[in-house]
Structure 1
């Protein structure tokens, strides 16, 4: 191998490593708290919500869906999901059945009373870290850029 070829490969290796390592470090630093997000959320959000009727019967899914439709009048319920740790149903709604994600709204409802569950007020550090970790607040271009950094790391 010629010395000039060796210098080019050495320079290429050095700079691709430095650039990709910076983004890999960002992914490691933001990813670690995300692994423990349940534990950190319980510490950061110590305001424990309690169901209205802790020992009462659970409302049917149709009743919760009706409450959600009344809560967001003019919107169509799109999805329902369940909270594992508490009697809460999350209902995602939007202006139309084929609404894009940015137009959708998620609301949580108490399954014992049908009342909306209060959300977290203010800045949420875990949401910030998740957005930074997945797409660096750039959406699809950010995801593609992080994928390109992964390929650069392989080079």
Structure 2
């Protein structure tokens, strides 16, 4: 590597790191407990587990769950019926209006017996605060998009760090930490070692984090394009006089794609469904396809499937990115690994700030020997 090339990459690594490090520390510190968000919610009483041995001879009537939720909050409207992928539970989500962005209530029911289990706290609790800080710094969509920009800088920092790592460590054994030559050199070696060990994980989490910040814009674009096309034939028509039970929509969707399972159902009046339909989202029945969804438009009056389409590639990318980012697709062993790598990344970020703070005493450039005859950099 030439001197000029090395200096350019070092400049990129230095300044992309400095700009994003404080925000990345916030994301890592909040992301660490969020890896165990399901366990935290149970421990804090913000969620409950269905009984282990509950059984029922007949399938649960989903419309009975809807009627129970409406009885608990008669002034609100049902927005979504969501099936829990990790346990035998259904979630009924309600809002002040069908199109309300904020949820007014979420009720949990046992999917085997139909028994009411729990009212999920809305926009409160420690886990919710941590999640909001991690997603948008309590600043809404602008905060989310800002963190997306910081994520791009982080990816640039990781890539440039890998490029810079080679000239620094070419003459040294891998993993060497030169502790006898002072704390700054010791932290520099630790920073390089821990950074290169976690580089692949950091790139995966960084890139998927950037994709996840586009959640709302991508969903909004999909609603304005493909969903609008699906419901266009019913625009301008009067809403149906009778809404068929949600069980009819489920049976129609399961009959149309018998090799898939129900993931969630958007009710008439929500932005996902329009005023004349249910939108039933089906998922694959294997670990590899469980995150891939197929939306079916089901007529709310007749209970018949009106349209079916595959998700566009950008939403598929988003759905695949979400479990990769939080490590919630491989059980507790993967969560522990994700938490360990997160903790190591916190050390990398902190040590980077420390090295920059101490640069007046010993600049990194002082450890570089320039060989004019080869126009190259060596340690």
Counterpart position of 1:125: 126
State how far apart, in whole Å, the 1-side matches of 2:61 and 2:126 are.
Answer: 34
Deviation of 1:152 after TM superposition, in Å, equals: 3.5
Indicate whether 1:68 and 2:72 are aligned.
no
State how far apart, in whole Å, the 2-side matches of 1:93 and 1:118 are.
Answer: 11
Counterpart position of 1:36: 36
Q: How does 1:1-155 map to 2 (within 5 A)?
A: 14-45=14-45, 54-57=54-57, 59-84=60-85, 86-97=87-98, 99-102=99-102, 104-111=104-111, 112-115=113-116, 117-119=118-120, 124-153=125-154, 154=156
Deviation of 1:113 after TM superposition, in Å, equals: 4.9
SS of 2:21 mapped into structure 1: helix
Quickly say closer, same or farther: Cα 1:84–1:21, change in 2 above 3 A: same
Greater Cα shift, 63-72 or 102-111: 102-111
State how far apart, in whole Å, the 1-side matches of 2:13 and 2:49 are.
Answer: 53
Quickly say closer, same or farther: Cα 1:129–1:90, change in 2 above 3 A: same
State how far apart, in whole Å, the 1-side matches of 2:46 and 2:105 are.
Answer: 24
TM-score for the superposition, normalised by structure 1? 0.70
TM-score for the superposition, normalised by structure 2? 0.33
Deviation of 1:110 after TM superposition, in Å, equals: 4.1
Contact 2:70 / 2:77 at 8 angstroms: preserved in 1?
yes
Contact 1:63 / 1:114 at 8 angstroms: preserved in 2?
no
State how far apart, in whole Å, the 2-side matches of 1:24 and 1:33 are.
Answer: 15
State how far apart, in whole Å, the 1-side matches of 2:104 and 2:150 are.
Answer: 31
Contact 1:67 / 1:114 at 8 angstroms: preserved in 2?
no
State how far apart, in whole Å, the 1-side matches of 2:72 and 2:110 are.
Answer: 13
Quickly say closer, same or farther: Cα 1:100–1:86, change in 2 above 3 A: same
| Structure showing greater relative contact order (alpha-carbon pairs closer than 8 Å, 6 or more residues apart) | 1
Q: How big is the alpha-carbon RMSD for the aligned residues of Structure 1 and Structure 2?
A: 3.8
State how far apart, in whole Å, the 2-side matches of 1:21 and 1:127 are.
Answer: 23
State how far apart, in whole Å, the 2-side matches of 1:64 and 1:23 are.
Answer: 42
Deviation of 1:36 after TM superposition, in Å, equals: 2.4
State how far apart, in whole Å, the 1-side matches of 2:37 and 2:101 are.
Answer: 23
Counterpart position of 1:3: none
SS of 1:149 mapped into structure 2: helix
SS of 1:137 mapped into structure 2: coil
Larger Rg: 2
Contact 1:82 / 1:90 at 8 angstroms: preserved in 2?
yes
Quickly say closer, same or farther: Cα 1:61–1:30, change in 2 above 3 A: same
Deviations 1:66-100 (A, max 9, x none): 11122221322121012345543211122333x23
Aligned residues: 148
SS of 1:101 mapped into structure 2: coil
Contact 1:90 / 1:106 at 8 angstroms: preserved in 2?
yes
Greater Cα shift, 123-132 or 64-73: 123-132
